[in-house]
Amino acid sequence: MNPATGETIARVSQGAEADVSAAVKAARTAQAKWAALPGHERAKHLYALARHVQQHARFLAVLETIDNGKPIRESRDIDIPLVARHFYHHAGWAEILADEFPGAGPQGVCGQVIPWNFPLLMLAWKVAPALAAGNTVVLKPAEYTPLTALAFAEIAREAGLPKGVLNIVTGDGTTGAALTGHPGIDKVAFTGSTAVGRVIRRQIAGSGKALTLELGGKSPFIVFADADLDAAVEGVVESIWFNQGQVCSAGSRILVAEAVSARFTDLLKRRMARLRVGDPMDKSTDIGAIVHPVQLARITDLVEKGRAEGVAIHQGEAPAGCFYPPTLVTGVEPASILATEEIFGPVVTLTPFRAPEDAVALANNTRYGLAASIWSENINLALDVAGRVRAGVVWINSANLFDAGAGFGGMRESGFGREGGREGMSAYLKLAVPKAKKPEEAPAALDASPAETLPASAIDRTAKLYIGGKQARPDSGYSYRVEGPKGTVGLAPLGSRKDIRNAVEAAHGAKGWGAQTGHNRAQVLYYLAENLSARVAEFEDRLRSFGQTASAAKTEVETALRRIFWYAAQADKFDGAVHSTKSAHVTLAMHEPLGVVGLVCPTALPLLGLVSLALPAVAMGNRVVVVPSQTHPLAATDLYQVFQTSDLPGGVINIVTGEREVLTKTLAEHDDVDGLWYFGTGDGAKAVETASAGNLKQTWCEEGAARNWLSAEGQGRNFLTRATQVKNIWVPYGE
């Protein structure tokens, strides 16, 4: 349906499970041959796609506008040129793939589900890197806007793309669910609502499929008192009234300094009154049609609910039909439905603030974290706030800038993974994943009954939990036996749900760790390694008490020691990048810590397993809650004395011992945990990924017995990548 006129313009097939299976089979058949092509050959195909898109640019722009309702100016001048740009850019990645990503290979068959707000551009964002990496694709376009995807399929055939490399299956949400849940899919990429993202996370939990999610947003648009107010007003137009506000990164929450709030509001109202709403095919139209009556009804309903809360609503004009006027809402409380819910329409709220700290607090007062726009003539202030706003993309004195050379994606409930740039390319590649010869078994049940005898030993002591830099008794009041080959070797505290909550709270209290320089973190980690080296014999004795040979114990301690030094060295060297993007801009790709990360260690190698997971995480500025080996946790509890003498701030590393799956469940369900690494059983991994859908925390799950922690598999840049997320900051640069 053409949303601007209500006329039916085409009928499209409703794809069934059989259609999805046929497409996946075709993609699987073509994948090996496509991946085996030299990068240069794949690059030529992508260059051809880019050129053919340009040849059909006028047709694609008109078709997009008729199908979607967006103004022809936007389709013609923004969407279609960016589509071509993505195929040109990723042709370059295909050409140099072996040099830039040594050892990496394609994921396999990718299932991609795209939204209706940028139908062809979202296709390009996903298809171009997938094909460049050697994957094949089955893509489902949005049910409201499938026409340019079908047209692109014809263009791909015209350009000579081999059969089966790209497959398009149209349909509604049931078709998408059949695709994402299909056992023949190796990677799922989804752009859409957070609610559907949660469904997909749960649907594929435990399947081993790679997943990237680009979800909803409620992005702040921050205007400081020294900003160029006229430019900022134009930024609002580009941010929330671009594409009828149907943009996940739209700056739908204006936060303006109190000192200029009245003037800014007046300027914005005057500019809003001059916006032209109407026929999308008219080149003078600023705001076109809402994509579908269902979406129009949602926008109208949310605004009316806001009106019932007592806000002031200022609106422009809009013709009858599937149109909605540009809308400014003032007098909005931070908890208002219009300030918290993603409206996905041309509706923006305005809230004054006094100090920069207030602006940051209001900006982060959302469950989303996709984008932010900051306006100030003080570049120090703008960059300072950019570093403190929790968003995957930040624009300085600009808004809604996109380029294939820079990653795009969010934090928190805006999803994870990036599209575009180096980080977007890496999302369609994988390194060899170790396989377990024998899957790890669930640890035996814990025994909290009194031990008959405990050995007299120089290293025996009453173990406690380690929370907030202090030894803590477990909330349960119980300890459990830790067994060796000759019986009980000690007692470990039986941690509980409340202990995990306390540890997470302590980790949040240590947020200053991530703000330190990499050099300062490195010094602490070097000091930790020095203090551990002074107690090598003690830790070797502890490992021997668990039944290890003297040689094995020595090797594990030595490897752990070297690993600490290696990650200390990386603390100030795992840098981001500077992307060359649009003219007069430079884009800083900054590595930032995830925040609070739960680490569930493998059963074997109780010292090295903890060190191998905790050190890369804390080296990158994260704070961690560690669940050590359930079977032999005393090597972990011995470590807290090393931590206490190494200037490690309290709360950076917290240790909770006990029943692994019980503690893991609490971490997975906790909404204040930002990431969770789990090395255990297959069933445990499925439970982790299912429970983590609540706040869409980033997860890393592996069979605990798969990785050889004593080898190079036990460390590397992959661990550092897992411990960080990329924030892309667009900064004005040059003329």
Query: Which residues are catalytically annotated?
Result: 214, 248
| Crossing angle of the two packed helices 379-388 and 356-363, in degrees rounded to 10 | 40
Q: How far apart are CA 477 and CA 471, in angstroms?
A: 14
Residue 154, H or E segment: helix 147-158
> Phi and psi (nearest 5°) for 164?
90, -15
Please list, in sequence order, all residues whose beta carbon lies within 8 angstroms of the beta carbon of residue 484, skipping any fewer than 6 positions away.
545, 546, 547
Degrees to nearest 5, angle at CA 404 with 401 and 408? 60
Strands (E), 205-322: 210-214, 220-223, 253-257, 312-315
For residue 284, what is the DSSP state?
T
Residue 222, H or E segment: strand 220-223
CA distances from 683 to 162, 629, 706 (A): 39, 17, 15
End-to-end CA distance of the chain: 43
Please list, in sequence order, all residues whose beta carbon lies within 8 angstroms of the beta carbon of residue 269, skipping any fewer than 6 positions away.
314, 328
Quick check: 364 and 390 in contact, CB under 8 A?
A: yes
For residue 73, what is the DSSP state?
H
Nearest to 117 by CA among 192, 176, 186, 182: 192
Q: How far apart are CA 288 and CA 296, in angstroms?
A: 12
Q: Are strands 253-257 and 429-430 parallel, antiparallel or unpaired?
A: unpaired
* Coil, strand or helix at 403: coil
Question: What residues pair up with 2 in beta bridges, in sequence order?
Answer: none
* Coil, strand or helix at 700: strand
Please count the other Cβ atoms lying within 10 Å of the Cβ belonging to residue 344. Answer: 24
Amino acid, res. 268: L
Quick check: 150 and 168 in contact, CB under 8 A?
A: yes
Structure token digits, residue 136: 């094949």
